[in-house]
Amino acid sequence: MTKQHKKSRSQNKAADPAYHGKLKPASIAKQLSTFKKFGSYVSPATSTAGGVMANAFVVSPSTLNDWGNLQNDWTEYRILAWKVEFIPSFEDSFPSSTAQGGLLIGVIDRTSSTTALSSTQQALEYEGAKYGSINKRLMLEAKAHGTNEMAWVNITTSSYWASVRFYSTALTASTNYGNLVVSILTEFRSAL
Backbone torsions φ then ψ of 119, nearest 5 degrees: -160, 160
Tens digit of pLDDT for each residue in 136-156?
Answer: 999 999 999 999 999 999 999
> Residue 95's pLDDT is what?
66
Contacts of 177 (CB under 8 A, 6+ apart): 45, 46, 47, 53, 88, 89, 90, 99, 134, 168, 171
Tens digit of pLDDT for each residue in 32-41?
Answer: 688 999 999 9
- Across the chain, what does the average pLDDT equal? 86
**How far is 85 from 91, CA to CA, in rounded Å?**
13
| 43, 165 Cβ separation under 8 angstroms | no
> Residue 54's pLDDT is what?
96
Q: For residues 78-87, b (16+ Cβ closer than 10 Å) or e, as one string? A: bbbebbbbbe
For 29-191, which CATH class?
mainly beta
Which comes out higher in pLDDT, residue 160 or 136? Answer: 136
Tens digit of pLDDT for each residue in 66-110?
Answer: 999 999 989 999 999 999 999 999 887 776 666 677 899 999 999
Mean pLDDT on 149-172:
91
**How far is 20 from 189, CA to CA, in rounded Å?**
27
**How far is 143 from 184, CA to CA, in rounded Å?**
10
